[in-house]
A = this chain, B = another copy of it.
Amino acid sequence: MKIKTELINFPEGLDLDSGDRLDSFELMVESYGELNESKTNAILVCHAFSGNHHVSGENSERETGWWDEIVGPNKAIDINKYYVVCCNNLGGCSGSSGPKSINPSTKKAYGGNFPLVSVSDWVNSQKMLLDKLDIPFWSFVVGGSLGGMQALQWSIAYPDKVKKVGIFAAAARSSTQNIAMNEVARESIRKDQNFHNGNYIEHDVIPKNGIKTARMLGHITYLSERHMDLRFGRKFQDDNSKVDHEVDFEVENYLQYKGDKFSEIFDANTYILMTKAMDGYDAAGVSGKLDRSLKKVTAQFLIIGFYSDWLYPPERGKEIQIAAMNNNIKSSYVVLEGEHGHDSFLFASDKYAKIIEKFIQS
């Protein structure tokens, strides 16, 4: 399987939603398969909050891509037929310009001074990537969760540059409770003694504890309550394999373990920036009316929700479907069982894979 990973420079820079400007930026881009001669087979995959450009197969560090169950040779998104592209989002921590990058004007890491970016900024940077790759349009833009928000935004911002969009386990905007949960996560990071107002790189420390707590909370919201119950129940952790002596229950041990691992690889400023982008996104735009913001959409919609998802439950997908119907957008709305709560969008069930495959081919 051919994986191409490259860092692409955009010296032209980008004006951001916030009013700030990046004078130049880089995107870490991974691609799979081949662009056909007529350039009609390009698919953009947008990653969710903690994902990155590495979607499928094994990379040089032998890590499997985050959507390997869906994207690959002869899979639902078939790289034997399609040219699949994914970039680490601006502000991320996997190679694209972000808080860990060197600010060209100060020669120091941006840290807490990296500007806030929005879902709309990401889509704008991906449009610049489309142009740089000399592709006339995406045949499909797809993502789950925060990635689904980007797919939706593509259909709104660049109606003539995308034919179909896949919006999975997502919403047109975050709910009050979503925002509240994210704020607790951010608070735990900001109040870590090693955070230093985001400038921890200068101090040669990492706010590991804060990221860990944030991720533990995140995990609870990604899993379904039933799945957690079936998997862990009220089972006690045996003494020999406790990650911490404070732990009693298996579920505590699991969260501690997951939080610890994540805190070693993910950047705290990116955590804050990505969740702020998620909270701030509202596909309804300034009018506040989703019906109105979808007026110019020409892409077909595939909206998928999962019953076990309590972060962006199926009703949130239905809101998009209704607005799509009000605008005569060709759209399909499917709700699947999903065993994994919000994370269900990551895993290929037969039904899920088949629906995606059929939609792309339709």
Contact = CB atoms under 8 A, between A and B. Distances in A.
Interface stretch (A147-155, A228-236, A349-357): A228-236
Interface in A240-291: 246-249, 251-252, 255-256, 259, 276, 279-280, 282
Interface string A160-191: 00000000000001111101110110111011
Contact of A176 (B181, B212, B228, B280): B228
Given A177-B228, A184-B213, A217-B217, 7 more contacts: A175-B229, A176-B233, A179-B234, A180-B216, A181-B217, A187-B216, A234-B282
Contact of A246 (B190, B216, B228): B190
Given A209-B191, A220-B177, A233-B176, A279 B183 contact: no
A193 interface: yes
A115 to B, nearest CB: 15
Interface secondary structure of A, over-half rule: helix
12 contacts: A175-B229, A176-B231, A176-B249, A177-B225, A180-B219, A183-B256, A187-B212, A187-B213, A190-B246, A191-B209, A191-B212, A248-B279
Interface of A: 173-177, 179-181, 183-184, 186-188, 190-193, 209-210, 212-213, 216-217, 219-220, 225, 228-229, 231-234, 246-249, 251-252, 255-256, 259, 276, 279-280, 282
Contacts of A216: 180, 183-184, 187
Contacts of A184: 213, 216-217, 220, 255
Contacts of A181: 217, 220
